[in-house]
Amino acid sequence: MEKITTKGYGASGSLIGGKTLEPMEFERDQPKADELLIAVLYCGVCHSDLHQVNNDWKNTIYPCVPGHEIIGKVISTGPSVIRFKAGDIVGVGCMIDSCRTCAPCTEGEEQFCEGPHGQTMTYNGYWKPDPGYNTFGGYSSNIVAQEKFVMRIPENLDIKAAAPILCAGITTYSPLKRFGVKAGHKVGIIGIGGLGHMGIKIAKAMGASVTAITTSEEKRSAALELGADQVIVSTNQQEMESACAKYDFLLATIPYAFELNDYTPLLRRRGALVTVGLLGPYKSPTNNMEVAKLSTTVGGSLIGGTTETQEVLDFCAQHQILPDTEMIDIKDINSAFDKLKDEEVRFRYVIDMSTLGKQ
């Protein structure tokens, strides 16, 4: 069967080694019976894209075409597809398929797929890499995804801004929901960037009293504008000490190694701290004395499955939550990566993929 020639932006090697994202063409397979071919309209720029392109996790397959926060329009569907039709506006997040038969998959938690290769990521191939298999993401003209991994976009969500819900939204929503955040809870969101700003909005909509915790005094006013009830600057020792044993739940969204033990003292008895931004070790081992004395929990969370991803889209539509975004042309992606690395974006870049046709 004839392949689909696709235009995109990708990297042939790590940007740290002097490479840049640049225009490239590659081929996609035609949709199978249960798959959709989707024209990419908008794609969010996630810190994970930067990590993956730079091979920070030592598993990158080149060429690497990033992008996993995708809003698009259905071009065509395979004959077995029943939920969508050509012309529908849809979303695709971090995964495009999985084994679909293991327990996590049948329970809508495909991010924990136990199949031979794990989940199929939107780019960079399988979760458990197969050197002979790669996938290419949303910095491209189109994408192919299995029906279950294609999300319905509520009509009242602005599609120009909604793309980051497919990663930043689900990544913060899933642990907040799983740990039962609700009215009366005190929640701290650590790190106020692409993930953190969504964490503030979602936790507030769940009814919690929300504190933004940031290293930057400059972000104090921005965090309050996002809806935080108060702000703590973590480099201010007095502010941190006054917050000890005050929080039911802490969500750490910092995307690089940080000192976990600076934050665990803020937890109340049987409180929990969950990390979502960091895929790697903390700067220091967990101080178990600090954790044990109030029986607190330290854990992590990995994106979310198809069930929760549709849930968070509907939740955001219900509560009129949208990411704070800045639209860019695809030609500006390298500059956007530099600003993302230097924490100069407020709070998520979204690529207008119609600009790809102008390259």
Position 316 scores a pLDDT of 98
Give the contacts of 61 (CB within 8 A, at least 6 positions apart).
124, 125, 129, 131, 134
Question: Is 223 a residue whose pLDDT tops 90?
Answer: yes
Coil, helix or strand at residue 314: helix
- Model-level pTM? 0.96
> How does residue 359 score in pLDDT terms, banded at 50, 70 and 90?
low
Dump pLDDT digits (tens) for 182-211.
Answer: 999 999 999 999 999 999 999 999 999 999
For the segment 43-56, the average pLDDT, to the nearest whole number, is 95
For Cα atoms 192, 125, 160, give the angle at the middle one, nearest 5 degrees. 45
The answer on pLDDT for 17 being more than 80 is no
- Reported as type and span, the H/E element at residue 4 is strand 4-10
In the block, tokens 């009830």 appear at 229
pLDDT at site 5: 94
The SS3 call for residue 212 is: strand
What local confidence, expressed as pLDDT, does residue 353 receive?
98
CA separation, residue 24 to residues 9, 30, 33, 61 (Å): 6, 19, 28, 15
Residues making up the chain, counted from first to last: 359
- In this structure, which topology does domain 168-300 adopt according to CATH? Rossmann fold (3.40.50)
* DSSP codes joined into one string, 37-105: EEEEEEEEE-HHHHHHHTTTTS---SSB-----EEEEEEEE-TT--S--TT-EEEE-SEEE--S-SHHH
Domain 4-166+323-358 has CATH 3.90.180.10: yes
Q: What is the mean pLDDT of residues 23-38?
A: 97
* Phi and psi at residue 248, to the nearest 5°: -75, -35
Domain ranges of the chain: 4-166+323-358, 168-300
Helix (H, G, I), strand (E, B), or coil: what is residue 128? coil
For 232-271, the pLDDT digits (tens) are 999 999 999 999 999 999 999 999 999 999 999 999 999 9
Which residue spans within 191-332 are E strands per DSSP? 209-214, 230-233, 247-252, 267-275, 297-300, 325-329
Going by the DSSP 8-state scheme, the letter that residue 115 receives in this structure is: S
Q: pLDDT: is 2 or 7 the higher one? A: 7
Spatial CB neighbours of 327, under 8 Å, sequence gap ≥ 6: 160, 349, 350, 351, 352
